[in-house]
């Protein structure tokens, strides 16, 4: 359902952009995310009986990653303060080697050792962007300095590969997931020429990620492992953009 809503929004913005008089622009940017900690919820389901237990892992350490991406925007002529932006960016954080306690109200506490792992995340985001212009000049009549804020949905295409072990089992999860979450951003552009600008931006996106593995044995009993996490991606980015028709 979330994916269908995202597709409808994409088509609506594409239709409005094609019908309206607009100034297109493109941009490229680079950033990074530091190490962060997040909680993970895992469920152990015994496939033979359908029973299971839910475990909570707190403060799982996730490694840093370089982030790179690009954007395509349309600054509307009739509403000069409004733009529509589509951007795509990628990051690949790792899971640090660590031991954490998995707590369950039904099965007690279990020590989990995470050996290695990576998560590939590609985010496709749509934003309605409001802009306020400052410092108009003869060379840049639309304003050399432009501050903006944007909000919209972001589609997160994720794949996870992680290996961890408990006293009774070794688990290798390799799975993919698609989720939709909100994204907000605030930033500013400085125009060196009427077409070329540099920009700096703070961006925040929140998502839910679910992965599973069916081929696990726990003390000889076949089980299914389902893990859920809610990664929040907080970025400070810098980039350059080129504005056509300025």
* Neighbour count for residue 74 (Cβ, 10 Å): 22
* pLDDT of 5 over the 50 cut: no
Q: Could you tell me the pTM of the whole model?
A: 0.81
Q: Say how far apart CA 101 and CA 240 lie, in whole Å.
A: 45
pLDDT band at 14 (very low <50, low <70, confident <90, very high): low
pLDDT band at 23 (very low <50, low <70, confident <90, very high): confident
**Model pLDDT for residues 114-158, shown as the tens digit of each residue:** 888 888 999 999 999 999 999 998 889 889 999 999 999 999 999
Q: Say how far apart CA 87 and CA 80 lie, in whole Å.
A: 20
Residue 188's pLDDT is 97
Residue 19's pLDDT is 44
- For the record, the structure tokens of 39 come out as 């909680």
* pLDDT of 7 over the 60 cut: no
**Model pLDDT for residues 44-95, shown as the tens digit of each residue:** 887 777 778 888 988 888 888 999 999 999 998 878 889 999 999 999 988 8
CATH topology for 2-243 is: Porin (2.40.160)
Write b or e for each residue in 6-26: b if 16 or more Cβ atoms lie within 10 A of its Cβ, otherwise e. Answer: beebeeebeeebeeeebbebe
Residue 50's pLDDT is 73
């Amino acid at each position: 359902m979330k994916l269908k809503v995202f597709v409808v929004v994409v088509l609506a913005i594409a239709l409005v952009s094609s019908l309206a008089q607009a100034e297109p622009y493109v941009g490229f940017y680079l950033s990074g995310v530091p190490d962060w900690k997040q909680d993970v919820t895992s469920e152990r389901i015994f496939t033979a009986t359908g029973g299971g237990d839910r475990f909570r892992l707190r403060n799982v350490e996730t490694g840093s990653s370089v982030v790179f991406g690009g954007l395509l925007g349309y600054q509307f002529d009739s509403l000069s303060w409004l733009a529509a932006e589509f951007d795509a960016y990628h990051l690949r954080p790792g899971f640090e080697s660590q031991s954490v306690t998995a707590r369950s109200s039904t099965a007690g506490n279990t020590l989990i050792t995470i050996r290695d792992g990576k998560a590939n995340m590609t985010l496709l985001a749509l934003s309605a962007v409001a802009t306020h212009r400052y410092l108009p000049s003869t060379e840049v009549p639309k304003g050399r300095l432009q501050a903006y804020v944007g909000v919209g949905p972001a589609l997160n295409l994720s794949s996870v590969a992680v290996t961890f072990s408990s006293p009774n089992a070794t688990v290798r999860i390799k799975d993919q997931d698609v989720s939709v979450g909100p994204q907000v951003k605030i930033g500013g552009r400085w125009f060196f020429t009427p077409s070329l600008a540099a920009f700096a931006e703070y961006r925040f996106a929140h998502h839910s990620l679910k992965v599973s593995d069916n081929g696990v044995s726990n003390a000889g009993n076949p089980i299914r492992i389902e893990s859920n996490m809610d990664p929040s991606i907080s970025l400070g980015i810098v980039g350059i953009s080129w504005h056509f028709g300025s």
